[in-house]
Amino acid sequence: MLAKQLLSDTIVPLRKNDTGICALNMMDEFKVRHLPIIHDSEFWGLVSEDGVLEFDNPEKPLEEIDSHYFNKTFVSEDQHLYEIIKLLYQQNLTVLPVLNENKIYTGSVVLSELLVRVAEMASIQHPGAIIVLEVNERDYLLSEIVQIVESNDAQILSLYTSSPVDSTELDITLKLNKMDVSAVMSTFDRYDYTIKASFSEDEYWDNLMDHYNSLMNYLNI
């Protein structure tokens, strides 16, 4: 998924002649801590709530404020979801401007909306068991994992990998479309896979859905 497919329909950018007070009011309205500033469709900078609160005079137009208060971070329309998540995380942003190949502002990716899309991609809203495997990087064969799951009349709804720093071990988290995955786990065991954790009880699903619904309600505030 690319940046141009993740543009928000809600965020309205600031203009250079808007004031810091205006920026704070708009951030409060959109429930974000950052907003892009544009001038004649060109990206001028990204202002933060914390930055505005440091202004000597927040009633001044943004164009009269020292440029060091403005973040110049942006992504291109063709940058991938993972790069976007990395930037949002590294810079603790709630909004990320998107520019086209001519450096014209085309919209913004909003963290809260992106979380909803990621949750949908991870199939969190669908019932199913979760299995966490631990394998050595050299032994990781996605085709074999898929074959084991599908040979037990199950399907993988989502899959992601993670690895501790300075480790050759991978944690592979599988979300399956079945709650009873005892047969799948038995097959993994026969293939000498290490099952690090599994979650397949109904109460786990109920708890997960409670957290998912709470997140959705929070993001809709």
pLDDT digit of tens for each residue in the chain (221 aa)? Answer: 789 999 999 999 999 999 999 999 999 999 999 999 999 889 999 999 999 999 999 999 999 999 899 999 999 999 998 899 999 999 999 999 999 999 999 999 999 888 887 777 666 667 788 999 999 999 999 999 999 999 999 999 988 888 877 888 999 999 999 988 999 999 999 999 999 988 865 545 555 556 666 666 655 54
Last residue of a domain, one of 62, 96, 118: 118
CB 154 within 8 A of CB 178: yes
Same domain? 38 vs 62: yes
End-to-end CA distance of the chain: 26
Q: How many residues are there in the chain?
A: 221
Q: Which residues contact 94 (CB under 8 A, 6 or more apart)?
A: 32, 33, 34, 88, 110, 111, 112
pLDDT for res 165: 76
The pTM for the full model equals: 0.66
Domain boundary among 95, 118, 141: 118
Edge-first strand listing for the sheet containing 42-48: 14-15, 34-39, 42-48
- Which of 77, 96, 118 is a domain's end point? 118
DSSP β-bridge partners for residue 130: 175, 199
Can you name the residues that pair with 107 across neighbouring β-strands? 98
Q: Based on the structure, what is the number of domains in the chain?
A: 2
Q: How far is CA 16 from the centre of its chain?
A: 29
Q: Which domain holds residue 65?
A: 3-118
Q: Do 11 and 110 sit in the same domain of this protein?
A: yes
Q: Please state whether 166 falls in left (phi above 0), alpha (psi between -120 and 50) or beta.
A: left
Are 135 and 107 members of one domain?
no
Two structure tokens written together for 7 = 């543009």
